[in-house]
Amino acid sequence: MLLLIDAGNTRIKWVLAAPAQKAADLGRWLAHGAVPHDAVESLARDWGAAPVRAVLIANVAGATVHAALVRQLALLQQGCAAPAPEDALQRDPAPTVDWFASAAQVAGVRNHYRAPERLGCDRLAALVGARALLPDRALIVAVCGTATTVDALTASGDFIGGMILPGPGVMAASLARHTAQLPAIAAMTAGTGAAPLAGMSPFADNTDDAIFSGCLAAQAGAIERAVVAHGGAHCLLSGGAAHLIAPRLGVAVTAVDNLVLIGLQVVAGAGPQRLLKEPK
């Protein structure tokens, strides 16, 4: 069994999965969960006694989360290495732990970033997942969370570049922080609740709705502009704020949960990749 971890800017998402043998296996989880950064110490307990043989992690959350994950993974490995109970023949071996890092070519995606290793590993994992789900198609891959990334992938698997902008929650929070009278909009917090006001006019008649509408229009506009610039490519949308943005897009879109984790599932089954045993 695989333990796949996506440590993002706000939350740490994880799944337990079998290696994908075919496309239909992608995104099929045996168990899953997510915690905010301040609850990372609960993860080893959440993983429990699952027979994990390998761990693959994409971490863009920085050194503090990195160190906390190392501690939790050590507890997982110690649990596997503990003496077997009397009624068990043997204890499963401790799982291997790898950290996903960007490179020039991974699992069918060729990374044309000027410095390939500087591409966020979560963005590359999302591109790998997108190509596995919709192979041989030109794609715009938009992952909308704390930050929104909008990346262009050719039908032949070449990542030609992308854009990064504040996610809708960060946009709204910035307005509240840097203006004297504009309020904070709780509904803009990425990954919470259903999409409110889905049928609202783009021209709101109150301040809260105007902020909500403006932030989502900015997100949708960036994605639509990228689709046009990439020759009308299909849009694959993911991330905690995707449910807010999808109804406002005027282009064909496929929404997929946990695209980064799907990419890690692909990488885990694709043979030798750009993995680090000891993260730098």
Cα–Cα separations (whole angstroms), residue 114 to 160, 227, 230, 238 = 10, 22, 19, 25
pLDDT of residue 203: 81
Helix (H) or strand (E) holding 228: helix 207-229
CA distance 159 to 152: 6
pLDDT of residue 34: 93
CA distance 200 to 209: 8
pLDDT of residue 56: 95
* Residue keyed to tokens 């991330």: 239
Q: Is 160 helix (H, G, I), strand (E, B) or coil?
A: strand
Q: Is 66 helix (H, G, I), strand (E, B) or coil?
A: helix
pLDDT of residue 150: 97
pLDDT of residue 188: 56
pLDDT of residue 266: 93
Using CB atoms within 10 Å of the CB of residue 89, give its burial: 0 to 12 exposed, 13 to 18 middle, 19+ buried.
Answer: exposed
Using CB atoms within 10 Å of the CB of residue 151, give its burial: 0 to 12 exposed, 13 to 18 middle, 19+ buried.
Answer: buried
Catalytic position from the list 6, 87, 92, 122 = 122
Per-residue pLDDT tens, the chain, 280 aa: give them: 899 999 998 899 999 998 877 788 888 899 999 999 999 999 988 887 678 889 999 999 999 999 999 999 998 877 654 444 554 445 556 788 999 999 999 999 999 999 999 999 999 999 999 999 999 999 999 999 889 999 999 999 999 999 999 888 887 777 767 676 556 666 554 444 444 445 566 787 777 778 788 888 899 999 999 999 999 999 999 998 898 899 889 999 999 999 999 999 999 887 656 565 555 5
Report pTM.
0.86
What structural domains and CATH numbers belong to the chain? 2-102+265-276 (3.30.420), 135-261 (3.30.420.40)
98 noted as active-site residue: no
pLDDT of residue 224: 96
Q: Is 237 helix (H, G, I), strand (E, B) or coil?
A: strand
Q: Is 100 helix (H, G, I), strand (E, B) or coil?
A: strand
